[in-house]
Structures are given as structure tokens and as C-alpha cells.
A and B are shown apart, each in its own frame.
Chain A
Amino acid sequence: MSALLKKDWFGLGLVLIFGSILISLFKPAFISPFNLYVLMLSVSLMLVVAMSQMIIIAIGQMNLSVGAIGGLVAISFTGLMEVYSMSIFPAVLIGLLIGLACGFINGYITVKTGISAFIITLATLYIFKGMNLGITEAQPFYEIPEAVKFFGNAKIFGPIPYLVIIPIIITVLMWILMNRTSLGRYMLAYGNNVQSSELIGISSTKIVIYAHVISGLLAAIGGMLVVCRLQLGTPNIGDSWLLPSFAAPVIGGAILAGGKVDVIATAFGVILVSIISQALVIFKIDPFFVQIFLGFMILLAVFINRYREYREERRTKVFSDE
């Protein structure tokens, strides 16, 4: 039990449960099937985006180009199907390849030059977004195959949409990667301390490139899922991903200096953000408040994490005095 209490996701889980009960007591519409359906859709999309950022946070870097990769893949995916009348499967494959290539570029340049990933991904953000706008000239693609539209909007049963399948698989895979594979543990070691991880024989090049490639792939999947959901490929897909992509991992207790991320807590962070956004809509609060709220949530999470660290430090100090 006490081990459970120490987990990052435990407190968040409690907040989620009590928060949901409280909201549904005030507004029963909150647990209506339609609302749950909308909630699950937004959670599904943001989950993938948050994981894409989380893996870069794990190695102690940042990826500003997550949204730009998602947008570029989204318009390539729809463009291939509309302009070149390609079938769905090869279009998805090329979309993934583009995401992989973008991630590889980010990782390769970062690790080979030693320049901070922040600057590199800021530059590639403009490059990918510029390609997106250059190709589309800011015009959306509307011709989407029926199967794609179906996947984005149909329900398996009850309020559960098909769209949740892929994000759930990704979350499970990410959990396995971060907790049960040597690659994931190496990433955390690298994020924790670059020098010592190199001294024990971990290849920086490999770790950084792998992390960025996975991030690129996840951003690509996120972009294509948004296409399924919206039933069109607009060039501005991904523009609003930056804040939520950092919000969820940070609320989930990730340390931005690297070396510590929690997949379950990140997922809970995504759900929490979605529930709050949803609740604000149900209570008919101005949508601009959602943004302000998200900002305050990040600050609050930052303060709580700081407080927990502080308490931890004090406890260890007391023991060492004895």
C-alpha cells in the first residue's frame, strides 16, 4: 500500500476519480454516453501526442517540432490519397516513414552537433511547417476514403470509439519500452546523467536517435488519427499541440531535466486535462478559460512536484543525521 502511495500516478488517479464524481453530481450530462464518447476521442488524440513528447523529455530534451511533424504527415497522408489516389495502407506507411525521417533528422543533427535540441527542433519546426504550407498553400484536402472516416467516427459498442484502439496499444507499448526493455532504461539513464551513461557504455548517438525517431513516429500517428477524426487534412493540424504535449507529462510528474517519466501518470495527465477542458465546456465557461486553466495546471503541477522533492530531501536528511 505504501509503495502504491509513492507512485506518481496514484494521487492523480484519486484526483481523477473524485473529480469525475464531483462533476457528474453537479452536471449529470457529464456521464452521458455522448459526452463520454467525445471525452474518449480527445483523450485518444492527446495521448499519442503526449507520448511523443514524453519520450524526448525522458532523455532530457525537448521536441518543439512534434506538432509540425504531425501536420506534415497529416497533409501528406491525405494528399497521397486525394491527389495520387493511393489506397489507405501505402499512404499510412508513407506517413509513418515521413514521421520516422523527420524524427531521424532531429535526432541526428542534435546528437552530431551537440547543439541543444530546443534550437534544432525550433528550426525543424519551421522547416516542416514551411514544407506543409508550401505544399498545400494553406488549402485543406477534403477527399478522404470512407474507411478512414468510419475509423475516426464509428463506435465499437456503447460510447467507445474505434479511435481509442491505437492509442491504448501505443500506451501499453510505451509502458513496456520504458519499464521492461533495456533501450527504455538506457534512455532514462542517458536523461539522468549523460556522462555516466556514456561511461557505462551506452551509445549516446543510438539513444538520442532512437528517442527522436520514436517521437517522430508517434507524432505521425497522432497526425493521421486527427485526420480520421476531422475527416479532412488541414495544414493547421498540430498547431495547438505544443502546450498539451508538455502539460500531460509534467502533470504526470516528469522531470524536464530528464531521467524520470511515468507512462501511466502521463496517461492520467492527459485524461485530467481532457476532463477539465470538458467540464469547463459543460459548465458553459468561456473556451478561452480552458487555455488559462491549462497554464495554471502546469504551474500547479510544477509546485507540487517541487514540494514533493523538498519533502523527500528533508526525509533523507533526517535519516542521515541519525
Chain B
Amino acid sequence: MNNKIPNFVKTNQFGLLILVIVFICIFSFSTDGFTSRFNIYALSRVVALDIMIGLAMMVVILTGGLNLSLGALGVSAAMFGGWCMESMGIPISITIILVLAFGSFLGWINGFVTVRTGVHSFIVTLATMSIYFGFMTLLTEAEAFRKLPEAFTDFGSLKLFNKYISPLLIISVLTCFVLYYIFKYTDIGRKLIAAGANPDAAELSGISVDRMFIYCHMLSGFLAALAGIMLTARIGAAIPSMAGHLGFDWLLPAFLAPVLGGTLLSGGKVTVFGTMLGAILVTLINNGLYLIDVGEFWVRFFLGIILLGAVLLDRAREYFTVKNSIVS
């Protein structure tokens, strides 16, 4: 037990946790309204989505790939859900299942093309990003679905725990635990990690690497679709532009959370709770920057600086741990 504590201190997650606490302290002392019930509730709604997006990217980064189509995929799935509920009158529970299946299918396309062509998933998802988004805009004629069932939109504005927390955050945290369980304790989860860490070795030990990579992309599509549903519930409508042009607004949080959380871009390592902490940190900083009033146009600039700072810090940490381990 005693050995475990310093190990945890050395990890990325611990550094993140400290940063999160430091930022919470800074913002609650330096700004009015950071700790207000309204702000915490608003934060919990935003952070729920950022966690989900981060996880969706994380499972593809596991393969050493990327998923640029994340935002386009999530919005396409959400629009499909809006269409099911508003135009077809399909009940909410069945709609959600259909949307998740649809998201997984779009993810399967990404994975299938990547595996079959052997091209880096960056270029494949760059192409599918514009295909998904183009089809979605074409089919919906860029019109939003605003008359969703009340039970669905009410869920998005529900307030729990003395009106502090949104139920969306609970979904995200639960998803974290489920993913953690899958990657840590199930056969398939270990196979996914093995395939990402060393494809050749995994192939030799009888794992079908291609199939594992396709599963990762499907899982990514599933999580992105879930994020799409959550965003729809939060806004109360399914809007084609809700993740920006081509879904680009989702990309920065999608990369920030796993990278801050210590997920290796070369693949083979996942940190579910690191990604969660990363997403919390990003949301905190974003929210804090607005409260400090740096001007909304500079927020993007600071987020870029923070991403750069985070990867550089991570690099430095790696460097020093290697150096220390050589010395000892």
C-alpha cells in the first residue's frame, strides 16, 4: 500500500487533479459568481458533454489514429434522432437506441475504410467528416428540429442535488466507469489496448487487430452519438450548426481532454479518468476566462496556449521521470 501512494503522485492524473483544484481556488477567489448555484449547474452541463467528446476521441487515439469526423458524426446522429422523434413520432427510448446504432454504424464506416486501405485514419475521417456533414445538411436542408417531445427536453434541463448538478453529468461519469471497467477487466478491453500498443505483437498472439480497430471506431461513433443526444437534450432542439461548421467546435475539447489526461497519441494507452479530469480542466478554464472577462474573442487564443503548455509540460514530466529512473 505504501508503495502505491508515491506512484499515484507521479502520474499525470495527480498533476491534473492539483491543477483543477488550483484553478477552482483561483476562480472562486478572483471572480464573482463562479461558485454560484447557477454557474455550477451550467458548468456541469458543459463538462458532461466535454467528457463524452473526449472519451469518443480517446478510444480512437488508442489505435494510434484520430477521428476528425467526431463532430460531424455526433451532429449527424443527433439530427437523425431529431428526425425520428419529430417527423416519425418514434418513442424516445427507441430513438435513443436507433441513434446510438446509427452512430456506431458511421463509426464502423470510418474503421472499415481505415483498416481496408491502410491509410492513416486522419485522412479517412477528414473525408468522412465532409461526407457526413454534407449529407446531413443536404437531408435536413439545414433546418433544425425544434418540436421534440417534452419528456426529452425536460430531462436536459433537469436539476439534481439541490439544483446543483445536471443529470447529463451523471451519464458521462457513469460512462467513464463503464469504459474503465471494460478496459481494465474485460477480455475485449484488454485486446483493444494490446492491438493499439503493438499491432504486430497482438496479431502474432492471435488477436485480429483489424477487427479491434474497427471496434474502436465503432465505440467512438457510439460515444459521439451519445454526446449528440446529450447536446440535443441540453439545447432542447437538434440544430445542424450546433457543433459549428463541419463539427469543428468539438475538435479542440476532443483533443484537449485526452491529451491533457495523458493518453499517448502513438496509441496503446488509455486514461479514462485522466480524460475526465482533462475535460473538467478545459471547461473550468473556458468558464473562468469568460468570467475574468478576457473578451470572448481571446478565449480561443488562450485555449491554444493552454494546449501547447499542457503538451510541453507533459513532455517535461516524461523527460524528468526518465532521467530520475536512470539515476536511481
Which residues of A are in contact with B by a Cβ distance under 8 Å? Answer: 62, 109, 113-116, 118-120, 122-131, 133-134, 137-138, 239-240, 242-243, 246, 250, 256-257, 286, 288-292, 294-296, 298-299, 302-303, 305-306
By the criterion CB–CB under 8 Å, are A118 and B119 in contact?
no
By the criterion CB–CB under 8 Å, are A130 and B302 in contact?
yes
B contact residues around A129 at 8 Å (CB): 300-301, 304
Q: Which single residue of chain A is at the shortest CB-CB distance from B302?
A: A130
By the criterion CB–CB under 8 Å, are A299 and B303 in contact?
no
By the criterion CB–CB under 8 Å, are A125 and B311 in contact?
no
B contact residues around A131 at 8 Å (CB): 301
- Number of interchain pairs (Cβ within 8 Å): 128
B157 CB within 8 Å of chain A: no
By the criterion CB–CB under 8 Å, are A120 and B127 in contact?
no
By the criterion CB–CB under 8 Å, are A124 and B119 in contact?
no
Q: Kindly provide the distance from the CB of A292 to the nearest chain B CB, expressed in whole angstroms.
A: 4
Q: Which single residue of chain A is at the shortest CB-CB distance from B118?
A: A306
Q: Kindly provide the distance from the CB of B248 to the nearest chain A CB, expressed in whole angstroms.
A: 9
A contact residues around B168 at 8 Å (CB): none
Which residues of B are in contact with A by a Cβ distance under 8 Å? Answer: 66, 113, 116-120, 122-124, 126-131, 133-135, 137-138, 245-246, 251-252, 255, 259, 265, 295, 297-305, 307-308, 311-312, 315
Main secondary structure of the interface of A (DSSP, over half): helix
Alpha-carbon gap, A127 to B304, bound state (A): 5
Max count, chain A CB within 10 A of own CB: residue among B303, B305, B308: B308
Q: Check A130/B123 contact, CB under 8 A, given A116-B265, A119-B311, A292-B134.
A: no
Residue from A62, A130, A298, A305 within 8 A of B127 (CB atoms): A298
Q: Kindly provide the distance from the CB of B276 to the nearest chain A CB, expressed in whole angstroms.
A: 20
Alpha-carbon gap, A240 to B245, bound state (A): 9
Q: Which single residue of chain B is at the shortest CB-CB distance from A122?
A: B255
Residue from A116, A126, A305 within 8 A of B300 (CB atoms): A126
Q: Check A294/B304 contact, CB under 8 A, given A62-B122, A126-B252, A302-B119.
A: no
By the criterion CB–CB under 8 Å, are A294 and B130 in contact?
yes
By the criterion CB–CB under 8 Å, are A288 and B137 in contact?
yes
Alpha-carbon gap, A206 to B133, bound state (A): 39
A contact residues around B295 at 8 Å (CB): 134
By the criterion CB–CB under 8 Å, are A115 and B123 in contact?
no
A contact residues around B122 at 8 Å (CB): 62, 118, 256
Q: Kindly provide the distance from the CB of A210 to the nearest chain B CB, expressed in whole angstroms.
A: 22
Q: Kindly provide the distance from the CB of A56 to the nearest chain B CB, expressed in whole angstroms.
A: 13
Q: Check A291/B133 contact, CB under 8 A, given A119-B307, A130-B298, A130-B301.
A: yes
By the criterion CB–CB under 8 Å, are B304 and A126 in contact?
yes
Q: Which single residue of chain A is at the shortest CB-CB distance from B130?
A: A295
Q: Which single residue of chain B is at the shortest CB-CB distance from A309?
A: B118
Alpha-carbon gap, A240 to B295, bound state (A): 25
By the criterion CB–CB under 8 Å, are A124 and B129 in contact?
no
Max count, chain B CB within 10 A of own CB: residue among A116, A124, A125, A130: A130
Alpha-carbon gap, A243 to B133, bound state (A): 13
Alpha-carbon gap, A250 to B224, bound state (A): 27
Q: Kindly provide the distance from the CB of B142 to the nearest chain A CB, expressed in whole angstroms.
A: 8
By the criterion CB–CB under 8 Å, are A292 and B304 in contact?
no
Q: Which single residue of chain B is at the shortest CB-CB distance from A294?
A: B130
Q: Which single residue of chain A is at the shortest CB-CB distance from B314?
A: A115
By the criterion CB–CB under 8 Å, are B308 and A123 in contact?
yes
A contact residues around B133 at 8 Å (CB): 291
Alpha-carbon gap, A109 to B66, bound state (A): 21
Q: Check A113/B315 contact, CB under 8 A, given A122-B307, A246-B123, A291-B130.
A: yes
Q: Which single residue of chain A is at the shortest CB-CB distance from B310?
A: A123
